[in-house]
Every structure is written in C-alpha cells, then in structure tokens.
Amino acid sequence: MKYLTLALLLLNVYSLFGQKAEFQTKFEISDKTVTVTYEEGIAFYQKLADQIPQISITPMGMTDAGKPLHMVIYSANSEFDIDELKSQGKPVFLINNAIHPGEPDGVDASMMLLRDIVTGKVLKKEKKDFVLVIIPFYNIGGTLNRNGTTRVNQNGPAAYGFRGNARNYDLNRDFIKGDTRNAAAFWEIFQKSDPDFFLDTHVSNGADYQYTMTLIATQEQKMSKPLQKMMGEVINPALYAHMEKVGDPMTPYVNVHGTTPDNGITEFADWPRYSTGYASLFNTYSFMSETHMLKPFDRRVESTYQLMVGMAKTLVTNKLKVLESRAKAKEMVKTKEDFTIKWSLDKDFSRELSFKGYEASYVPSKLTSQKRLYYDHKKPFEKSIKFKNRYKPAITVKKPKAYIVQQGWVNVVERLKRNGVQMQPLSADTTITVEVYRIKNYKTVQSPYEGHYYHYGTELEKSDEMVRFHKGDFVVACDQEVNRFIIETLEPLAEDSYFKWNMFDTVLGSKEGFSSYVFEELAEEVLNNNPELMKAYRTNQQNDMDFAGNRYQQLKWIYEKSKYKEKEHLRYPIFRIN
C-alpha cells in the first residue's frame, strides 16, 4: 500500500507538470518574444475547454473573414448560461482582443490570465465571484494577414496581424455603424453577456514617456449619475492603485496632437463609434488599455496581464455597488427626459496630473534638412501637467415618447434589433401626427472615412405633420434600458447618428422635378391661389437681382413651395411622437 500511494503521488505530480507544460502559451515558450497565431490561439482555448469543466468556447456569429467570432467563458461553477449566472449575482467581465491585430498584447495576456485563474496562480479568492468572457481575436481577417512590417515603430513582436479587417475596415470605428459582420457578431456577444466591466486591448502610437500602460476610461460626464461616482471615486482610483502596487504605474492615455506631453494632455473623446463609447451606451463600465509601443513586447504583455488582474479584483471587491449602480442607471435611463447627443471639451477646466516623461527637444535631422522631435531618455522627469478631462454638453434633446421607423429602412431596423431595441409593428395602416425633421443644411467630408462620406454641420427645421404610416412600420418606445442607443443613433445631430453615417442618404436627392416650359401656367396658378406666397415671390423679384434675372430659379422657388414638390425630399425619415 505504501508503494502504491507513492506511485499515485508521483503520477499526480507528473500529470500536473505535464499539464503545466501543455498549457504554456506561445509567448512563454518563445522567451516572451512571439505572439500566437489565430490557429494556435483558438487551439489553446479549445484544449483548455476540453480539459477544464469551468471553461467553454463557443463559435458565435460569422466575421468578414469567413470564420466565426469565438466566445470563451470562465465560470467557477461550470454554469455557462449568462442569464442564470447573473441571477446568481455574478458580475461579468468582458475582454475584447485583437481589434487591431498588430497590437496583440491582450491576446497573449488573456490566454495566460485564463490559465492562471483555473490553476490557482491568480485571483484565488475572487475567481468564484465573477464571470470572465473573452473574445480571443475580434479582427480575425487582420490576424490572418500576418506580417512584420506594418507596425513600423513598434518594439516587437517580430510578426503580428494587420490593422484592417478582411474588408480593410478599422473595426474600432465600426461599433455604432456596424458595416461589418464582425460588428454584428460582437453585438451578439455583448448583448448576450451584458458586461459590467468591458476592456478592449490596444497598443498606442504617439509620444514617448516612462509608462508602459496608459488607460482610456469612459468619460464620466457621459455616464448616468449612479455610474459617475463609482467610476470617478472608486473604480478608476482602484485600478491606478493596483498598477502602482505591482510596480507598473499607469497614466491616462497620452492624447497629444502637435505638441509634447509636458504641455498637457487631453482626455480621448470616445464617441460611440469606438468600443468604449459604444459600451457606455449600455451603462457598462468601459476601458481601453493602451500599452506604449516603444516598450518591449514582454513588458507590454505583462502590463496588460496585470491590468486585467486589477480589473477583476476591483470588480469583485465592489461587485455589489457595481451591480447596484448599473441597475439604477438602467432604470433611470428609462425615464430620463433630456439626452446630450453631442459633447465638446471644456477647455477652461483641467486638473493637475503627476506625469513621468522624458525631456523633449527639436534637434537637427541627419536625414532631412529639418529639425526632428527627440525624447531624451537620459533626462527623465516627473512633474505636474495639465489634464483636460471634462466634456460639456454641446447639443441636448428632449426624448420623444416614441420614434416611428418605417419598415423599408431595413438597414436601420436590423441594427436596432441586434442591439436589444424593442420595436412594436403597427397592426394596421394609420395616420399619426408626428414631429418631422427636414434637413435644412448639411456638409459632407471630401474624403472617405471608413467607407463613408459622413455628414457634419447639419441644420434642421421642425414641424408637426400628419403622416400616413403602413402596417408593419415600427414604433420604438423611449421607455427602454437602451434609450441612449436609440436616441444617439436616431437623432440626426448626434455625434455618431445613422444620418451622419449615410444611412438615409437617399432622401437627400429629389426623385421628381418639373419641366420649365410646361410648369409656367401651373406656377402662375399656384401664386394666384396663395396671396402670401405671391407677396413673397414679388418681394424676392424686387430685392434679389440674381433671382429676378433667372427664370428657372423663379419657377423652382415656386415649385418647391407648392404641393407638387415631393414630400420625401430632405425629410428625415425617422418620426417623433411627442
């Protein structure tokens, strides 16, 4: 019996060592110089799921690369139904990796984190009290497009993926407009998991400084009040304290343009097109890690790993307050009346930030005849700089009781549904008094941005009109938890509205017109039947010489103010019920 027990002990030890070696990552066995390929990464997660009952991996929606997005879940009690886990009071932490596959730090960090959780290396006390969801590779097409040159200024690894996806979209501009199948698959995972914490992993470009990790957090001013206090007074301080404690101090994302950090930095504006801006629409505490491109790859991965550990600890430590604040925010947004849909930086406000940088100067270039920016690592500094991190409302709207979305706008209807918006189809044709927007003026960019010539500088005219709707058109009530998503996509003046992203461009061009040689008699009849219009017409003739000298412009003016002008031209096709 004595020898049998010893044999079993040796067998168990051998098994543990074998498992440890088997679950080492490519990053670790390459002496921390290589990032995993797509095939190797999915195989790693599949092997974990096959051998460890607390882990599952599920293919979700298809991406533009023809491969599905995977959803990896760690659950201590081996329950993988998110709704059931939430009913047990388990908060959810969602990590999204490889949105820019040339920035792979989170890919390797997530693999080690999951393994270390199940083997008891980290989060021993916390692991039973939260659910971890990982998207191993979001931009699969870019991950498969592996190279060693496109991140030209980055300090490792030797090979990595490409920023654009299989259709060359930058996916971190696509969260609200949803041009890609990747975005639709992400929506499915996000809506299914309804994360309490969300982290999107990146590597930064730009200035030089001492930090390995910088952080973008959801702008507090945009958040519902129950979340603002938690983010500003509890969560953010806890994350910075954790990174300081592990010897890897962190700073806010170093957002500078045309200057150097010692002159101050500005908080990144995370509009809904970006991952954190999108997630915040659903009252999720959202973050984007930005490791420093000039730091060695191994340091960046380890820093990302430590931030993930810190986020998990912070989530569990404050889980009751996190869950309570999100529940309150979801209820508040149902009844909230006024919504800010456009923000501007408050340039008059800043706070002091202790910053560790390097002295910068402009020195003669050995290559060109100009001067170049140079950060001197022999001259590090720590000093107080200005951090502009407050945004103020620029445009605020009062929500309607409901919007009406005509069923023909399938592209908009599908996006709303995929993001959890409840819509009630009309049961019969009906005429309703609604508030109508008409596009008075707008501008369009001259060069495409992520597949769009988006609009800006839009001006509206408003009126109340009787509009005929048809059976099957959708009523979108504004009493939902997802009100922010509804309003910030459907209000045309919003920062990332669906109007801005060209989804209603067909109303910007007229479909009918008039023949001037035929219309003259009818135009005269229009004026004779409308004395006020006749008066305005004569005034224009007398005061505007260009108008008076252009017959076609006069007829067009009459046509556009007559009943013959098509009502759809420049009429925004989303209607408000107030």
Distance, in Å, from the CA atom of 494 to the CA atom of 59, rounded to the nearest integer, reads 34
Mean pLDDT of all residues in the chain?
A: 95
Other beta carbons within 10 angstroms of residue 299's beta carbon come to 18
SS3 of residue 88 by DSSP? coil
Tokens (6 digits) for 506: 């067909």
Residue with token string 């040159």: 149
Distance, in Å, from the CA atom of 479 to the CA atom of 384, rounded to the nearest integer, reads 45
Distance, in Å, from the CA atom of 310 to the CA atom of 304, rounded to the nearest integer, reads 10
Tell me the pLDDT band of 565, cut-offs 50, 70 and 90.
confident
| Terminal alpha carbon distance of the chain | 83
Tokens (6 digits) for 353: 């930030």
Residue with token string 């909230």: 336
Distance, in Å, from the CA atom of 84 to the CA atom of 70, rounded to the nearest integer, reads 20
- Going across the sheet that includes 455-469, the strands are 424-425, 474-477, 402-405, 574-577, 430-444, 455-469
The answer to whether the CB of 248 falls within 8 A of the CB of 300 is no
Name, in order, each residue with C-beta under 8 angstroms of 371's C-beta and a sequence gap of 6 or more. 362, 363, 364, 365
Tokens (6 digits) for 299: 């340091």
**What confidence score (pLDDT) does residue 22 get?**
72
Distance, in Å, from the CA atom of 156 to the CA atom of 31, rounded to the nearest integer, reads 13
Mean pLDDT confidence for 52-81: 98
Q: What is the pLDDT of residues 12-57, one digit of tens each?
A: 433 444 445 679 999 999 999 999 999 999 999 999 999 999 999 9
**What confidence score (pLDDT) does residue 21 get?**
60
The answer to whether the CB of 380 falls within 8 A of the CB of 427 is no
Mean pLDDT confidence for 322-340: 98
The answer to whether the CB of 405 falls within 8 A of the CB of 413 is yes
On the 0-12 / 13-18 / 19+ scale of CB atoms within 10 A, 290 is buried
DSSP state of 262: G
**What confidence score (pLDDT) does residue 20 get?**
56
Asked whether residue 244 carries a pLDDT value surpassing 70, the answer given is: yes
CA atoms within 13 A on the CB side of 113: 30
Alpha helix ranges (H) inside 529-578: 531-543, 545-548, 551-560
Q: What is the pLDDT of residues 537-552, one digit of tens each?
A: 999 999 999 999 999 9
The pTM score is 0.94
**What confidence score (pLDDT) does residue 8 get?**
41
Percent of the chain with pLDDT over 70: 96
Asked whether residue 5 carries a pLDDT value surpassing 50, the answer given is: no
Tell me the pLDDT band of 263, cut-offs 50, 70 and 90.
very high
Q: Is the previous residue joined to 104 through a cis bond, with omega within 30 degrees of 0?
A: no
Q: What is the pLDDT of residues 435-468, one digit of tens each?
A: 999 999 999 999 999 999 999 999 999 999 999 9
Q: What is the pLDDT of residues 367-404, one digit of tens each?
A: 998 999 999 999 999 999 999 999 999 999 999 999 99
Distance, in Å, from the CA atom of 556 to the CA atom of 569, rounded to the nearest integer, reads 14
Mean pLDDT confidence for 63-78: 98
Cα distances (angstroms) measured from residue 527 to each of 196, 517, 524, 558 = 62, 17, 5, 8
Asked whether residue 139 carries a pLDDT value surpassing 90, the answer given is: yes
Tell me the pLDDT band of 258, cut-offs 50, 70 and 90.
confident
Residue with token string 């017959």: 551
Distance, in Å, from the CA atom of 130 to the CA atom of 210, rounded to the nearest integer, reads 33
**What confidence score (pLDDT) does residue 205 get?**
87
Give the number of residues written for the chain. Answer: 578
Asked whether residue 325 carries a pLDDT value surpassing 70, the answer given is: yes
Distance, in Å, from the CA atom of 19 to the CA atom of 306, rounded to the nearest integer, reads 23
